[in-house]
Amino acid sequence: MSTPNQALIMLEGDEYVRHLEKKVAQLDQMVTIGHLLNSTLDLSELLELIIETAAKLVGAQTASIMLLDERTGELFFAAATGESQEKLRKVKVPLEGSIAGSIYTTGQPAIVDDVRGDTRHYTGVDQSISFHTQSILGVPMQVRNRRIGVLEALNKFERIPFDQEDVQVLSTMASHAAVAIENARLVARLQEANRRLSELDRLKSNFISIASHELRTPLMIVQGYASFLREQASAETSNDLDMVLKGAGKLQAVIDQMTNLNYLDARSITLTAKAFVLQDTINEVAREWKALAGAKQQELQLKLPPSPITINGDAGKIALVLNNLLNNAVRFTPEGGHIEVAVAHHTGRVAVAVADNGIGIPKGELERIFDPFYQVEDHLVRHHGGLGLGLAIAREVVFQHDGRIWAESVEGHGSRFIFTLPIMMAVSPETNEPSAAG
């Protein structure tokens, strides 16, 4: 004996199976849309797929997405099925006096079985694309409580009225579309902001290279005349001229940094790679810095392995890296401090460390100091000068040599900057004697 419920299921078995099959097909389509949402940033492709699927799922002749143009307060077609897409893109739908407009304004779905009996129906769209609208199902589209448009399905096949199940399906599709549109808008905004930033960065770099070029010539004249006058100056005026030359020297250092700004753009670094002995370059750079450190009663010590270490690279650019590191070490170490350049090598790489016992760097800043123009010191209370470019340039040059650079520090006790480079001629660590090239 079967219960009445079982009988009902038996009786409606075929219909029940068809219903389940339809549901499974709908879910399948929605899962596909969900996957697509995560896999493509091509908005028009996605929206077209959403409305095609929406029309299919609710059994409508066509479907369209209308979005609000915030400038004009009208709806425009962001996507539509069928061949009239191009024409539709030019059509605007007013918020007042249209079914889509009232769905947008009220935020409620609407089913209209016969638009002829609805005074809100806006006939402008049908006229412009020679289409005949019979019935409409429309749902609002919103993201995080912000309404952005309307999704409509038109003309249910066989003139059956749209029902609540259709409202549910279309609402799900509308929320998919709304997320896709919002994401695409965010990406577009980010791309635009990025484009503007790049443009500003380009303008800033152009300005700096023009300014440094324009400053160089008058500075050379000042330096030339001041040196000339200094040679013939009396004891009274020679001190004044020394001051002029010292000031001009500082200005020259700033201009040099400005000129080196283009090294931050990897494309504008042209390396003239040649074999050179690292110790020779270090000795050459250190000679100049010994005098400058001496002026601050600082001791500059070198700890270099006796056997030559050969690097295949641009000696001039590596000298620039050392210059920038020593410049910082001298500036950020008080009078009487200690600075050391040490070299160690190991399995095909050499590490150069420039250490000081100066003011040190807070732990949280050890990465950021390599960013262009970044300085630990607030520029309003600066005591140490500089443009914040030295380390950024050093990093770029070291990268170009297939090396790494980083900083270690204990705040208040000093800093150590280490950069590594591949060795052209391997040197055995124990003997410091060259072995097979590696």
Residues found near ligand ADP in the complex (CB under 6 A): 324, 328-329, 332, 356, 358-361, 369, 374-377, 386-392, 415
Q: Least distance from C-beta 219 to ligand ADP, angstroms?
A: 19
Nearer Cβ to ligand ADP, position 298 or 324?
324
Nearer Cβ to ligand ADP, position 111 or 351?
351
| Of residues 210, 237, 241, the one with CA closest to residue 224 | 241
To which residue do tokens 């219909």 refer?
15
Nearer Cβ to ligand ADP, position 129 or 387?
387
Q: Least distance from C-beta 400 to ligand ADP, angstroms?
A: 17
Nearer Cβ to ligand ADP, position 155 or 323?
323
Order of strands, sheet of 136-143, starting from the edge strand that comes earlier in the sequence: 92-94, 74-80, 60-69, 146-156, 136-143, 110-112
Nearer Cβ to ligand ADP, position 286 or 392?
392
How far apart, in whole angstroms, are the C-alpha atoms of residue 70 and residue 101? 13
Tell me the residue number closest to ligand ADP, measured at CB.
386
Q: Least distance from C-beta 302 to ligand ADP, angstroms?
A: 17
How far apart, in whole angstroms, are the C-alpha atoms of residue 419 and residue 404? 5
Nearer Cβ to ligand ADP, position 182 or 340?
340
Q: Least distance from C-beta 375 to ligand ADP, angstroms?
A: 3
What angle separates helix 13-39 from helix 164-232, to the nearest 10 degrees? 10
Q: Least distance from C-beta 324 to ligand ADP, angstroms?
A: 6
Report angle CA 93, 98, 115 to the nearest 5 degrees: 125
In this structure, which long-range contacts are made by residues 211-219, counting pairs with CB atoms below 8 Å and at least 24 apart in sequence? Answer: 211/258, 212/255, 212/258, 212/259, 212/261, 213/259, 215/251, 215/255, 215/258, 216/255, 216/259, 219/248, 219/251, 219/252, 219/255
The answer to whether 186 and 146 are in contact (CB under 8 A) is no
Q: Least distance from C-beta 389 to ligand ADP, angstroms?
A: 6
Q: Least distance from C-beta 426 to ligand ADP, angstroms?
A: 31
Amino acid identity for residue 235 in this structure: A
Nearer Cβ to ligand ADP, position 315 or 391?
391
Name, in order, each residue with C-beta under 8 angstroms of 315's C-beta and a sequence gap of 6 or more.
274, 276, 280, 281
Q: Least distance from C-beta 353 to ligand ADP, angstroms?
A: 12
How far apart, in whole angstroms, are the C-alpha atoms of residue 163 and residue 180? 26
Nearer Cβ to ligand ADP, position 376 or 418?
376
Nearer Cβ to ligand ADP, position 23 or 250?
250
| Of residues 250, 230, 252, the one with CA closest to residue 240 | 230
Q: Least distance from C-beta 227 to ligand ADP, angstroms?
A: 26
How far apart, in whole angstroms, are the C-alpha atoms of residue 435 and residue 296? 41
To which residue do tokens 């019935």 refer?
135
Q: Least distance from C-beta 388 to ligand ADP, angstroms?
A: 4
Count of CA atoms in the C-beta half-sphere (13 A) of 125: 27
Nearer Cβ to ligand ADP, position 165 or 340?
340
Nearer Cβ to ligand ADP, position 222 or 376?
376
How far apart, in whole angstroms, are the C-alpha atoms of residue 324 and residue 314? 16
How far apart, in whole angstroms, are the C-alpha atoms of residue 126 and residue 350? 76
Nearer Cβ to ligand ADP, position 37 or 254?
254
How far apart, in whole angstroms, are the C-alpha atoms of residue 245 and residue 231? 12
| Of residues 14, 18, 16, 36, the one with CA closest to residue 26 | 18
How far apart, in whole angstroms, are the C-alpha atoms of residue 214 and residue 274? 33
Residue 323, Cβ density class (10 Å: 0-12 exposed, 13-18 middle, ≥19 buried): buried
Q: Least distance from C-beta 351 to ligand ADP, angstroms?
A: 17
